[in-house]
Structure 1
Amino acid sequence: MLSVFFIFPAPASGLTEVEANPVNTPQSAVVLIVDGLSAPFIYPELTPHALDGTPLEKAELENIPEISKESARVLEFRAPQTFTEGGHSVLVTGNPGADSELVSFKDATVFDILHREGYLCIAVMERGDSWSIRAEQDVILRDENNSINKIKIILEQHEPSSDNPETPEGLLQVMEEAADKAPGYVTSKETREKYSGYNRWGVETACNIVKYMARNKPEQKYLLTINVGAVDSSGHHRDNYGYIDCIECLDNDISSLYELCKKNDLAFVLTADHGMGFSKDDSKGGHQSKKFTDTDEAQLVPLIVHTQDVESGIIRGKHGQEDFAPTLLGVLDIPDRPRFAEGKQILLTDHVNLKVELPEKGSVELRKNGNGKDGNVKEGNVKDGSIVASLQHDDEFLFLGLEPESTYTVSATLDSGNSLEEQEKELTLETDSVLEFTEKGQKIEESSEESSESDSGSGKNSTAGFSKKESGKSNSSLTHLIGYLLIGLVNLVGIVIIAKILKKS
């Protein structure tokens, strides 16, 4: 048995990374999801209307417009499902029809991808914390009663797996203290203060978490997801004037979190699960009933992204919540995508990234063929026909800082001498991509749709001449499969022999 283990070792996966041009990858990311925040009520280019056609008053803001000036702001970002569970599920999976069950599948969410990259997943969620999203977090604070009047914040910690980092004890203490303080934020008898206090607790708790991680665990990458729920509740219970009042109160509290993210080189992202519609002026709102679901007020939500490498400005064109997951991963320079993602990355940086996967250890060479969309060679960029990098003795290679819409050729060989289906592939990179080489005889036929999308290196996370992945990991080679079968056979024989010896004795 020992000889079989040595001859057919389990495959070990590594990653060799190289910067073709310098990139400023954020240390971590903070995502603020404001339940029920409708873009027409906060974007200067849009005007909210009631169902009867009446123009509605917008929120008067100070901080969000200032944040927008330093960020990328997506003008049309539409929710395909205008209810809480659907909105949150779409955001984290990149699938427009996602629900809680889809979230629970292996490799289905951004949390799964980030865990593989060594990220700690932390959440502070007042609403939208479905069972499957809670299960994706390493540690989470949530409102068990989902109620502003009967707030009950509990701390849940999940046992770390071999792949997930361990949650620091000091962080748990910070979160436990925040849970104890939560009821004190909603004691006011004034409706305005009670609702704004509910949101303020979430934002201030997030600030304390960021401060702790910066001071005590600066090397630990993490995703902090905050979900505040009072804006949504105000729309349902306080009419459109109470709704914009709650947005304005949140605007007053948000700058401290944003400034902390800037100071500590964190990506800051502001978005929502769905918007809010109103039948007429001075009426209570909704978003899930049939009369509201097709309105811009219910469907259009904000997406504002700030980090060093993100170019500030307005992003036009039609985009959907399903684009959020690949866009967030792109901002973090991670080309991998959730398993069921159908959305496309909104390219917010001036570079793209390429991950190359081999079935076993080998060598990869990347050559640049084209100058990019403007046809000019930028200062410091690699010239046409030049070798970007030549890397060896690994099975995964990450090329960072490549030029968008440039054409590259990737050549690969295996250290073992085994043959690949294709040893050279050409692709044009419009967004981040994962290119998978397969061993000869192991290629899976692609559909014509996948092939047509992959020729340009855009669309689904695929490129020409390679098989679509199911779990986000490389396919094992035939040698490894034979090895596993032999190991199982030897073990089975051993069990039979032991059973016979025991029977005789």
Structure 2
Amino acid sequence: MARFFSRTLLLFSVFIAIFCIFIAIYPFYFQENEPKETKSVIFLVLDGAGAKYIEGLDAMPLEIEGAKIEKAKLLSIASASFTTAEQEFTETISAHSLYYIAGDCGKQWQDIKYCVDNSGTTTICDFYRSKGYLCIMVSEAGDFKEARNEFDVVLYDKGIFSFDVEVNSNSKEAVGVGEFLKDIVKAQHEQQSSDINFYVMYSAFIIETDAKLVKFMREKFPSKKFFLFSNAKGIDLCGHKLGLEAYISCIEGLDATLSSLANSRDSNTIIFITADHGMVFDCANCKGHHADSPENPYAREIPLILFGSNALLRKGTASDIMATVFEISGFPNACAEMRYCEGKSLLVSEAN
């Protein structure tokens, strides 16, 4: 009898010990591995918008030829999370889409067609579409055929304010979005004088279209998640053609439009804003360039601005951005399914 009670007490003690261990590790293991709520994604590339020219993103003062220059002030990002990243490619041919559509494929190929033509899950659209998302492109740059073919619906620019719409899917959502975008491009603008106001308007058209799409999807297809890749080219053109002062003014001129986009989202949508590269100005009156300056921090450092998550982000590289988008949109292990996604998420922590 004594042996029976001894064994019973031992088993009870073991059970209590296992129970205590379970209680101790539950918050750190089981809760962290619970599926996260998935969210729709807007990924906006402000073509050529270098982080060093935007106040609050880089602590170093902006100086050209020893003279301090006022940075662009964006009040719209006051409520956002943000960091900066280094872009390895400052040439237009690769920077636009390799890291943002096809991930680390850019380290192997200098042309996106070699990335998107591969079989399997090679692009961000391949992944999101496999999860039931609708993939949309609204773009003024980086919209070459191989990239466009990755998306279900595309609004792209054949010149300057010469937009067209492609629908690459027969789904009701794709057809509906396509018709919606066709109505938008019917009211196209004509080429105007190449001044700051025109380049602001050119980029604002894309950002405003993004905001309209968010509302359209919420009203017409509320249960459909979407990934929207967008590229606004006005800042880049302004820097190349008009110089430093106009470049900074163009960034500031988009503040209200960016604020409207941020306010268009609901709790099920997150917005990322970044750039494909920055811009280099050799003097205050010089026009900008970037392709020939791959080692220049003014060409390499790009912003990463996030609306819709109280996230703490670390600095990283452009190849980390895809992994970051995946994790914050609810897919922390997505890179394991991707052929070209070796970057590491920039998410440090995320408050509830």
TM exceeds 0.5? yes
How many residues get paired?
A: 311
1:155-174 correspondence runs (5 A): 155-160=165-170, 165-174=171-180
Report if the CA contact (8 A) 1:139-1:167 is conserved. Answer: no
1:494-505 correspondence runs (5 A): none
Secondary structure in structure 2 of the residue aligned to 1:132 = helix
Larger mean Cα displacement after TM superposition, 241-250 or 100-109: 100-109
Residue 132 of structure 1: how far off its partner (Å): 1.8
Give the equivalent residue in structure 2 for 1:90. 99
1:153 counterpart = 2:152 = no
Report if the CA contact (8 A) 1:331-1:349 is conserved. Answer: no
CA distance in 1, matches of 2:94, 2:140: 16
Residue 215 of structure 1: how far off its partner (Å): 0.3
Give the equivalent residue in structure 2 for 1:347. 347
| Structure with the greater alpha carbon radius of gyration | 1
CA distance in 1, matches of 2:199, 2:172: 34
CA distance in 2, matches of 1:304, 1:214: 23
1:242-300 residue CA offsets vs partner (Å, 9 max, x unmatched): 10111011112111111111x352011010111001011121000001xx221111000
Letter in 2 for 1:244: I
Residue 31 of structure 1: how far off its partner (Å): 0.9
Report if the CA contact (8 A) 2:153-2:174 is conserved. Answer: no
Secondary structure in structure 2 of the residue aligned to 1:286 = coil
Which structure has more RCO (C-alpha within 8 Å, separation ≥ 6)?
Answer: 2
Secondary structure in structure 1 of the residue aligned to 2:344 = coil
Letter in 2 for 1:227: N
Q: Which runs of 5+ in 2 are unaligned?
A: 1-29
Give the equivalent residue in structure 1 for 2:124. 110
Give the equivalent residue in structure 2 for 1:326. 323
Report if the CA contact (8 A) 1:26-1:267 is conserved. Answer: no
- Assess, with a 3 A threshold, how the Cα gap between structure 1 residues 194 and 143 changes in structure 2: closer, same or farther: same
Residue 30 of structure 1: how far off its partner (Å): 0.7
From the two aligned structures, give the one with the greater helix fraction: 2
Report if the CA contact (8 A) 1:311-1:350 is conserved. Answer: yes
From the two aligned structures, give the one with the greater strand fraction: 1
1:309-324 correspondence runs (5 A): 310-313=309-312, 315-317=313-315, 319-324=316-321
Report if the CA contact (8 A) 2:311-2:350 is conserved. Answer: no
1:209 counterpart = 2:209 = no
CA distance in 1, matches of 2:187, 2:304: 30
1:258-273 correspondence runs (5 A): 258-261=262-265, 263-273=266-276
CA distance in 1, matches of 2:140, 2:188: 11
CA distance in 2, matches of 1:247, 1:118: 35
Residue 171 of structure 1: how far off its partner (Å): 1.8
CA distance in 1, matches of 2:310, 2:243: 37
Give the equivalent residue in structure 2 for 1:219. 223
Question: How large is the RMSD of aligned CA atoms in angstroms?
Answer: 2.3
Give the equivalent residue in structure 2 for 1:175. 181
Larger mean Cα displacement after TM superposition, 329-338 or 267-276: 329-338
Report if the CA contact (8 A) 2:167-2:174 is conserved. Answer: no
Give the equivalent residue in structure 1 for 2:12. none
Give the equivalent residue in structure 2 for 1:121. 135
Report if the CA contact (8 A) 2:51-2:301 is conserved. Answer: yes
Q: Which runs of 5+ in 1 are unaligned?
A: 1-18, 352-400, 402-505
Secondary structure in structure 1 of the residue aligned to 2:69 = coil
2:72 aligned to which of 59, 62, 66: 59
CA distance in 1, matches of 2:137, 2:180: 13
- Assess, with a 3 A threshold, how the Cα gap between structure 1 residues 43 and 193 changes in structure 2: closer, same or farther: closer
Report if the CA contact (8 A) 1:82-1:274 is conserved. Answer: yes
Secondary structure in structure 1 of the residue aligned to 2:37 = coil
1:387-440 residue CA offsets vs partner (Å, 9 max, x unmatched): xxxxxxxxxxxxxx9xxxxxxxxxxxxxxxxxxxxxxxxxxxxxxxxxxxxxxx
1:409-420 correspondence runs (5 A): none
Letter in 1 for 2:166: E
1:244 aligned to which of 239, 244, 248: 248
Letter in 1 for 2:334: D
Give the equivalent residue in structure 2 for 1:133. 147
Give the equivalent residue in structure 2 for 1:41. 53
Report if the CA contact (8 A) 1:121-1:222 is conserved. Answer: yes
Letter in 2 for 1:173: E
Secondary structure in structure 1 of the residue aligned to 2:156 = strand
2:87 aligned to which of 79, 82, 88: 79
